[in-house]
Amino acid sequence: MNKKNSILIPILIILLFGCNRKQTESETAINKSTNSTQIESSEKQFLLNNHLTMAVLFHQKSAEMRALSYQAFNLAKLMLDKDLENKSIEMKRAVVVDIDETVLDNSPYEAKCILDDILYPELWNEWCNFADAKPLPGAVDFLEYVRANGVDVFYITNRKEELREATIENLKRYNFPIVDDTYLLMRTKCKSKELRRQKVLENHHISLLVGDNLNDFVNTFEGKSIKDCFALTDEMQNEFGRRFILLPNAMYGEWESAMYNYNYNIPDVEKSQKRFESLEVFNQQQAKN
């Protein structure tokens, strides 16, 4: 080996090592960035919607959910019959029903939120305009029974006015009775349903109210703490299953809002923390004693 080659070889080795080292560092940085993005995405999905998964699956896959829906509407028929026996009522009778998670099933939208890592109201209008939310088990049959007994059906929903036509199309698609502007009371400026219930009461006796949220029955629960809602529910216990017919909905509701002190604008991490803090856990040490 000549002197020139003996000098060049170490230089080439240093250059090659340096290039390989830079390439390795670059690949490591890319891998770290990719892994970090994946972790952030995974954490975001968990914080946003992972807690919804079992609730949506219960709604879609459990026979118990179907049974609870049938049970609610079967009970509603019995209570309507009992109300019809009261001959002292001279006003036209009405049954007031909520729409979402009371007569129509929006669980496919909630599933979309989980898989696409989004939050309400993103894609909500698109889902409603699709106009193909399926009826909850027993809903159509019950409302046909209501109409067959000469009782009016009023749909009081917090869907916004812009969704009126799509909502009518959806209800008519599955043969829900009397779906027109007179009997469909949408949300306008006021989220509370009380004024709309009072409008029905102007010309009707309300025999039953059917919903998945306590605010579907009276405005007493609006904006209350969890503790206060419990106390009010205890006070009104005789109304449930008699005049108030409640459908199960573990996916969303005012009960969740109450956990966040009715502030949905708090960070998602804080919402997750509040959900965990709200869990009531047994004390293992006390159990041993």
Residues 207-220: tens digit of each pLDDT: 999 999 999 999 99
In a domain, 56, yes or no: no
Higher-pLDDT residue of 283, 279: 279
List the CATH number of the domain containing 86: 3.40.50.1000
Whether cis (ω within 30° of 0) applies to the bond prior to 177 is no
User: What was the pLDDT predicted at 19?
Assistant: 44
In a domain, 14, yes or no: no
Taking all residues of the chain, what is their mean pLDDT, rounded to a whole number?
A: 88
Binned at pLDDT 50, 70 and 90, residue 10 comes out as very low
In a domain, 17, yes or no: no
Q: Are the C-beta atoms of residues 259 and 275 closer than 8 Å to each other?
A: yes
Amino acid of residue 118? I
The alpha carbon of 73 is separated from its chain's Cα centroid by a whole number of angstroms, namely 20
Q: How far, in Å, CA of 110 to CA of 125, rounded? A: 13
User: What was the pLDDT predicted at 47?
Assistant: 64
User: What was the pLDDT predicted at 101?
Assistant: 98
> Looking at the 3D structure of the chain, how many domains does it have?
1
Residue 216 exposed, middle or buried by CB count within 10 Å (0-12, 13-18, 19+): buried
In a domain, 7, yes or no: no
In a domain, 129, yes or no: no
Binned at pLDDT 50, 70 and 90, residue 8 comes out as very low
Q: How far, in Å, CA of 130 to CA of 8, rounded? A: 72
Q: Print the domain residue range for 248.
A: 64-105+134-277
Q: Is 160 helix (H, G, I), strand (E, B) or coil?
A: strand
- The token duo for 68 is 């609870």
In a domain, 21, yes or no: no
Chain segment 104-153, per-residue pLDDT in tens: 999 999 999 999 999 999 999 999 999 999 999 999 999 999 999 999 99
In a domain, 91, yes or no: yes
In a domain, 3, yes or no: no
